[in-house]
Amino acid sequence: MEDLVESILDYIRADYTDYAIMINGEWGSGKTYFWNHKVRNKIESMQLNGKRYRTIYMSLYGISNLEEISKKIFIETTQLMDKNLKKFMDSKDQTTIPEYAKTGLDMANFFGVTQNGDKLDYSEFFSTDDKVLCFDDLERANVDVIDILGYINNFVEHDHIKTIIICNEKELSTKLKSSNLEMKTFIATYLLDKEGDLVKKTDKPMVERIQDTIEYVFDKANDYERIKEKLIGETFEYAPEFNYIINGILMRYEKYPDLIRFLRENTNLIISTFNKSGTRNLRILKHALNDFKKIFDMVNKSYPNTNHRVMQTMLIFTIAVSFEIKAGKVTKDKFVNINSNEEYKAILVSSRVFMDNRQFYIKEFDNNYYYNFKAEYRFFKFIEIYIRTRIFDMRVFKENMEVIINTIDTDKLPAYKRLLTEEYWKITDDQFGGVIEEILDDVKNGRITPIEIVKMFAYFSYFIKRNLINYDIKSIKSVFLNGINIASLTATYCDNVEDELDRISVNEVGPDMEEVVKYFNEVNEKLKDKMYMEKAEEVFKYIPMKMELFYDKFAKECMDVPIFKYYDVFQMFQRISCASNEDIVTIKEMLASRAKKYTSEIEPEINNIRKLKQVMDDYIDGKEPTIKIVMLEEFSKELDNILELYKPKFLGKKEENQYN
């Protein structure tokens, strides 16, 4: 790094230059930090030919026209002439004027307000041999890069002002090629059509022909290379000293004693995790450390005695997930379906025990960031939510922390959870037999959920296959099927079976697994029916006496659920017929819009809808017209319209049955 600084200073020291130099590096890698902390001060401390150099720094980020650059140069230059302003900035240890203040000064000049009575020294405007211009964020300007470089060339070629340009050439190249792409494609297609090349038979794909035409007609990249060759004398590749910069980043937390002490103690963890991210983006690291400050404060406030190893793991996890999501290495949804450390570890254990590669990303994430770092608790849902959504969910935070406090010691975990969240080879030989016996006892007595029993069967099948336990697979299968049956008496419906089973490799442990999964699915469907029957009873009991509660619950919980399948048709009609005429109309309209929106989801209830219509028609038949009777007739017609939505499907099934 010192060699790069010295090369830049050599350029400044040169008596005569008619070229600029460029510092090229990736976004967020610390180029601006390097200028502010390594280069600028050394330039301003130089004195050549009796003159001390002054730097004028300008970020081009968001600049929309060349006039804005001129204004920035004027303000930055005139601050050197205004004695009062200079004195104020020195007293505040301020090296640059904030953008907000520049706006005020600009307006003050416009209205003729001066900072002191001194007249401008015009000789300062003509003095160029003691100025150094630095243009940053070239690729982020909203002006054509070619125009900006031409503008800068005036200072370099005609005035011989020392000029440094900081940019990311990789992004600059992408920007040059992708600007106005729709317009370029339209014109290229038009030209190909005029020349008859659109219909011409050729081995080259159409997309490639259009791209070639775009590059031929709009070759901005070549324009850039030509003006760069004329303007830029040397390009330096910026390879940052990350350790130095990261230590500088930590200094911003000096006023938080507990936090800075923890960060200083774990600087090597921060640097190691940053390096493992495979990026050079210090900006993401800054954001991650800011996020960790919030996490650190919340944990220390609510759970002050949290295990030190857990806090270290939180630091690693915060930085790691920040890089994975914000550097675009993975979509935000990759962690969404993992709700706890237990699920996270179950995925890892399954992938390692059964050599299951379906969760390849999670395994790679863990291998990368936690390599040589042992920790039982490695996934924090509240942190993942915070980084992904920017919402600090207090409920999830408290749930996570309570689990951490109660399960940080794996010896206290139930045997089946230990097997799911810890590679079996980490269990000592003298403990293994006890773990197996405890799990079998839990299965026999239905103490664990049906889905967990299925997972345990996968492990037992694997252990039998590897001769680690001496049981007959058929006998074990019978025990586990009976265990599912007993557990189902107190269990609830599992609505994410695929996700749960994806955490183990059910296809790799033998043919008996299919029978266990099939039986579980049958039991789970019964649990689903039981759940919806209870839900139907709870929701429909509000008709007709508490209609507001009915509408609220139905809208929130039943719109995409075939809830009518689970309620007696005669009771349903009795409740509807006792409702007010206005409520009958409202229910009718609600069912109509629901059927159109969730046609496929509510199909299982369609037989009960047909029966409800029949019961309604039987009740109406032969009765004298009243408003209620007319409303029920309209209701029946609407039910008929709903049935029409399914008629093509049912006709298809009827024809199919005729041929079978």
Q: Dump pLDDT digits (tens) for 107-150.
A: 555 545 454 444 444 444 445 677 888 999 888 888 888 888 88
pLDDT tens across 176-203, in order? 555 555 655 656 665 666 666 665 667 6
CATH of the domain at 75: 3.40.50
**Domain-located, residue 182:** no
Q: What is the DSSP string of 498-519?
A: HHHHHTTTTTSS-THHHHHHHH
Q: Specify if 79 maps to a domain.
A: yes
State how far the Cα of 520 lies from the Cα of 528, in Å rounded to an integer: 12
Q: Are residues 335 and 462 in the same domain?
A: no
Domain assignment present for 415: no
**Within this chain, do residues 488 and 552 fall inside the same structural domain, yes or no?**
no
Count of CB atoms within 10 A of residue 537's CB?
A: 13
Residues 267, 397, single domain; the answer is yes
Structural domain ending residue among the three candidates 359, 378, 408: 408
Residues 522 and 545 occupy one common structural domain:
no
State the alpha helices, DSSP H only, in 251-393. 257-265, 267-276, 282-302, 308-326, 341-353, 360-369, 381-389
- Whether 363 maps to a domain, the answer reads yes
- 246 and 104 together in one domain: no
The 3 state secondary structure assigned to 44-62 is: HCCEECCEECEEEEEECCC
Instruction: Decide if 261 is inside a domain.
Output: yes
Confidence of residue 301 (pLDDT cuts 50, 70, 90): very high
**Are 157 and 301 members of one domain?**
no
The 10s digit of each residue's pLDDT in 548-600 is 999 999 999 999 999 999 999 999 999 999 999 999 999 999 999 999 999 99
* 29/109 same-domain check: yes
Which residues are CB-neighbours of 372 under 8 A, at least 6 positions away? none
Quick one: angle between helices 450-465 and 341-353, nearest 10? 20
Residue-wise pLDDT tens digits, 345-356: 888 887 777 666
Q: Do 171 and 24 form a contact (C-beta atoms < 8 A)?
A: no
Average pLDDT of the residues in 387-399: 93
Average pLDDT over the chain reads 82
Domain span at 504: 425-529
Opening angle at CA 412, ends 407 and 416, nearest 5? 95
The 10 Å Cβ neighbour count of residue 185 is 15
Any idea what the Cα angle at residue 183 is, between residues 179 and 187, rounded to 5°?
Answer: 125
Number of domains in the chain: 4
Closest residue by Cα to residue 161 from 174, 152, 173, 151: 152
Cross-sheet strand order for the sheet of 131-136? 54-59, 131-136, 162-167, 20-24, 232-237
- Of 322, 247, 236, residue with least CA distance to 279: 322
The pLDDT value given to residue 174: 65
pLDDT of residue 51: 79
The one-letter amino acid at 510: G
**Counting every residue, how long is the chain?**
660
Beta pairing class for 54-59 and 131-136? parallel
How far from chain centre, in Å, is Cα 39? 36
Residue 194 lies in a domain: no
Predicted local distance difference test score (pLDDT) of residue 457: 93
Contact 370, 514 (CB under 8 A): no
> How far apart are the C-alpha atoms of 20 and 40, rounded to whole Å?
16
pLDDT by residue (tens digit) across 18-70? 889 899 887 767 788 888 888 898 898 887 777 788 888 888 888 888 887 77
Phi, psi of 616 (to 5 degrees): -65, -45
Structure tokens at 595: 């059927």
- Lowest mean pLDDT across 310-324, 488-502, 536-550: 488-502
Q: Pick from 122, 146, 176: which residue ends a domain?
A: 176
Question: In sequence order, which residues have a C-beta less than 8 Å from that of residue 244 and are 6 or more positions away?
Answer: 1
- The predicted model scores a pTM of 0.50
- Are 285 and 351 in a shared domain? yes
What pLDDT digit, counting tens, does each position of 315-325 carry? Answer: 999 999 999 88
CA angle 249, 255, 259 (to 5 degrees): 70
Q: Quick check: helix, strand or coil at residue 252?
A: helix
Looking at the structure, tell me whether residues 264 and 328 fall in a common domain: yes
pLDDT surpasses 60 at 98:
no
Rounded to an integer, what distance in angstroms lies between the CA atom of residue 313 and that of residue 300? Answer: 15
Q: Contact 565/602 with Cβ under 8 angstroms? A: no
- 14 and 99 share a domain? yes
Token pair belonging to 283: 């900006």
- Helix, coil or strand: residue 622: coil
- What region, left, alpha or beta, does residue 54 occupy, with left being phi > 0 and alpha being psi -120 to 50 degrees? beta
The answer to whether residue 201 is domain-embedded is: no
Angle between helices 606-620 and 627-644 (to 10 degrees): 150
Does one domain contain both 497 and 615? no
| Residue 221, in any domain of the structure | no
Q: Which residues of 341-351 are buried (b: 16+ CB within 10 A; e: fewer)?
A: bbbbbbbbbbb
Q: Domain boundary residue among 408, 441, 458?
A: 408
Is there a contact between 169 and 137 (Cβ–Cβ < 8 Å)?
Answer: no
Mean pLDDT check: name the lowest of 331-340, 424-433, 450-459: 331-340
The answer on pLDDT for 228 being more than 70 is yes
Does the bond joining 304 to the residue before it have cis omega, within 30 degrees of 0? Answer: no
Partners of 433 in the beta sheet? none
Using an 8 Å Cβ cutoff, are 69 and 60 in contact? yes
Verify that 399 and 327 share a domain, yes or no: yes
Q: What does the alpha-carbon distance between residue 76 and residue 648 come to, in Å, rounded to a whole number?
A: 75
Residue 162 pLDDT more than 80? Answer: yes
